[in-house]
Amino acid sequence: MKPRFFSLFLLLLLLFSFSGTVGSADASFPHSSLKAEALPAWYPDSDYYVEINDDVPDFEVWQRTAFPFVLFSDLDELGRPGPAYACLGPETLPTDVRGQIGSVYPVGWQSTKYEDLIDGGYLFNRSHLIACQLCGDNGTRENLFTGTRNLNAGSMLFVESAVEMYIQETGHHVLYRVTPFYHGDDLVPFGIQIEAQSMETDVDGICCNLFLYNVQPGIEIDYATGESRRTGELLTLEVPAVSAGDTLRTVPAENPTPAPEQSSPASVTYVLNKNTKKFHYPDCSSVDDMKAKNRQDVDWTRDEVVAAGYVPCGRCKP
């Protein structure tokens, strides 16, 4: 199929296959060409991400568009999400207040806490392939995967915040694709690839192609099930194809002493006002007066919120 005809087909698919800007397209959109075998294994002294293709996205010229859309793959037979593909812009940024998703459980989800190793305690977050702050989608299962705190509130958030700021400041669009990578039939991805590229300009815009490892320092994760434990031994994260029976691979613990685990769903801790740069408890009366475009709900620790430049509300004193 020639590129121009495929581009027309994609546009027609976007117009007729879903209502609004968010829809499901199964495998009908172009996927990443990255192969798991090309990825280096992750070790404790490695970075949490690696650049792919010199940080240049794998988008073809015919894919360039400023037409806003958001597409998710259908869940596979194991209930796992696949790639998500979007053209993000002012039209896709959320206008409604973000709701609670504590009752939604991505495949492989485990409510495990390590209070002394992880800020906020919980190992896993309900991670969005395409962040709610970029597309307005919050609880769609096709957009959720089980991601470590280190991934969700670290390198992934950095990229998402950069894209959001770029769109808000320029009004331009960003072609965006996120691809989860799994070992065999594992339920939890060992990492994700994020590709992002500005559409209206190649100067001072967004351009990245990164692979982010879904790991947590000090914790061994069984990616087949989502179960975890502290460890004092290094079991390497080998990227080439493995059988579903291979388990427990990631990093050594700094403190091998076991601690009791607790099982309870994670909850939103603070509400940020992106306009006033204040943060509040969710039940604060000031939250009711907050405009939807200025609100962001996060499950960060207090130290993380302060480090992000926010100050506590004088009314609820969080």
pLDDT tens per residue across span 132-158: 999 999 889 999 999 999 999 999 999
- DSSP codes, 232-259: SS---B--S---TT----S---S-----
Give the DSSP letter of residue 293: G
- The domain of 84 spans 3-265
Specify whether 61 is located in the same domain as 205.
Answer: yes
Residue that finishes a domain, picked among 249, 265, 281:
265
What pLDDT is stored for residue 273 in this prediction? 87
Q: Work out the pLDDT band at 24, boundaries 50, 70, 90.
A: low
- Give the mean pLDDT of 113-126: 92
Residue that finishes a domain, picked among 265, 282, 301:
265
What pLDDT is stored for residue 86 in this prediction? 95
What pLDDT is stored for residue 26 in this prediction? 53
* Residue 187 near residue 226 (C-beta atoms within 8 A): yes
CATH code for the domain of 167: 3.40.570.10
Residue that finishes a domain, picked among 265, 280, 298:
265
- Phi and psi at 299, nearest 5°, equal -115, 40
Specify whether 253 is located in the same domain as 273.
Answer: no
Specify whether 33 is located in the same domain as 122.
Answer: yes
Specify whether 253 is located in the same domain as 274.
Answer: no
What pLDDT is stored for residue 277 in this prediction? 83
Specify whether 312 is located in the same domain as 225.
Answer: no
Tokens 């914790």 -> residue: 219
Specify whether 151 is located in the same domain as 252.
Answer: yes
Specify whether 289 is located in the same domain as 250.
Answer: no
| Cα–Cα dist 192/242, whole Å | 18
pLDDT at 114 over 50: yes
Specify whether 222 is located in the same domain as 181.
Answer: yes
Q: Count other C-beta atoms under 10 Å from residue 51's C-beta.
A: 12
Percent residues over pLDDT 90 in the chain:
50
What rounded mean pLDDT belongs to the chain? 81
The number of distinct structural domains making up the chain is 2
What pLDDT is stored for residue 22 in this prediction? 54
* Range from 119-133, 252-266, 277-291 carrying the lowest mean pLDDT: 252-266
* Range from 32-36, 194-198, 271-275 carrying the lowest mean pLDDT: 271-275
Specify whether 249 is located in the same domain as 298.
Answer: no
Specify whether 47 is located in the same domain as 159.
Answer: yes
pLDDT tens per residue across span 262-279: 444 445 578 888 888 888
User: To the nearest 10°, the Cα dihedral for 155, 157, 159, 162?
Assistant: -140
Specify whether 246 is located in the same domain as 272.
Answer: no
- Phi and psi at 26, nearest 5°, equal 50, -125
pLDDT at 220 over 80: yes
- Give the mean pLDDT of 8-33: 55
- Give the mean pLDDT of 117-127: 92
pLDDT at 60 over 80: yes
Specify whether 188 is located in the same domain as 251.
Answer: yes
